[in-house]
Structure 1
Amino acid sequence: ARCRELGVPVIHVHFLVHPGAPGFTLNAPLFEGLLDESAMVRGTWGARAVDGLEPQPGDHVVEKMRMSAWEGTSLETVLKAEGRDILIETGAWTNMSIEHTARTGADKGYVMVIPEDGCSTMNADWHRASIDYAMQNVALVTKVDEVIGALA
């Protein structure tokens, strides 16, 4: 909400597949599980945005079918159109989606800001491993309140 108030673009990245996941490569156990469970299928409950976090008018929506929000998506096109080189990244799967996106963003020359209390994953150990080790090398790890304060 604070980003919207200040005119900072809000970009939602949704992991979506079509029913049966045509064109979805099953080259990793995580991806096999998605197919086995019929998860993240466009138009189903499992692919809906979390209540209260739905895209609002003016927000951007980027769709992906890989762990990183960069791979095969329009993310970089949106960022260039908005003239942005700093990303505040929050969301699910700290040790997968958040980490992969942060690593690639850093490689591409973007400043990656990760408010650790705005991210989650399957368990505290995976979250801490990602935040305390991997992210320290590719991003500014901080807290949501610090980010909001810095935006003011």
Structure 2
Amino acid sequence: MMLEPAHTAVLAVHWQVNIIRPEGFFGPMLAEPVAISGVVDRATALHEAMLSAGLPLVFARFSIPVGGGGLVRNTGFMRSVAAAQTEFRPDSPGSQIVPEMVEQAAAAAVFDNQKLSALAGSALPHWLTARGIDTLLITGVATNMAVEQTARHGTDFGFFVHPIADCVAAATPESHATSLANLELVTAGCLSSGQVFEQLHVTRH
């Protein structure tokens, strides 16, 4: 199935200081492998090209407002962030989009939630369908956590979901590869950024 520009959006998941920068909450686990992978540069280039072509770009941020919002402490992951929730306040340094993508986020839609899936606990699914979007191109971190959860969730919502394999990353190459193999089976299929540029006839920046 070829991508149709009029019905396609890019969903950029958790490109935040807390997730991928050394000073962030998950920095000890993710900062180094993300830097080594080069994924930030590739995702930034993809986002820029899609914006220039007029496709919707949506950033999903994990943040925790005072009172906890929709946070449910039902996993070890959620209990750990709940214990450090002041670091995840919407206006905290760690919750901000990484510097490489700040200008893109200013030109995009930004949705915050307190879930692992970017599509849970916010108005984002309605926002997408109201604009005729039925296809999602997912970039983000981590492949085997928020990206996979979002991709599976989006598929169950009825979206055609394509994880962009060279624009996502995980803590280890093994977990990244295993997650992509799973997603190949349970989504509309993984694509490379090169395939996206080719199918949408978009120039790489």
* TM-score normalised per structure 1: 0.89
- In 2, Cα distance between equivalents of 1:84 and 1:134: 20
Unaligned runs of 5+ in 1: none
How many residue pairs get aligned? The number is: 151
Once the two structures are overlaid, the 10-residue window that deviates more, 3-12 or 128-137, is 128-137
Q: 1:79 to 1:135 in 2, by over 3 A?
A: same
Q: What is the CA RMSD across the aligned residues, in angstroms?
A: 1.7
Query: Percent identity among equivalent residues?
Result: 24
From 40, 44, 64, the counterpart of 2:92:
44
Relative to structure 1, the CA distance from residue 46 to residue 20 in structure 2 (aligned partners, 3 Å threshold; closer, same or farther) is farther
How far apart, CA to CA, are the structure 1 residues paired with 2:69 and 2:124? 22
Q: Secondary structure of 1:141's match?
A: coil
Structure with more helix by fraction: 2
1:116-127 equivalences in 2 (<5 Å) = 116-127=165-176
Residue type at the aligned position of 1:21: G
Query: Offset at 1:19?
Result: 4.7
Q: 1:85 to 1:27 in 2, by over 3 A?
A: same
Runs of 4+ in 1 over 4 A off after TM superposition: none
Q: Which amino acid aligns with 1:147?
A: V
**AA in 2 matched with 1:100:** Q
What corresponds to 1:56 in structure 2?
A: 106
> What TM-score comes out, normalization by structure 2 length?
0.68
Confirm or deny that 1:29 pairs with 2:115.
no
1:7 corresponds to = 54
| Partner of residue 75 from structure 1, selected from 118, 124, 129 | 124
Unaligned runs of 5+ in 2: 1-47
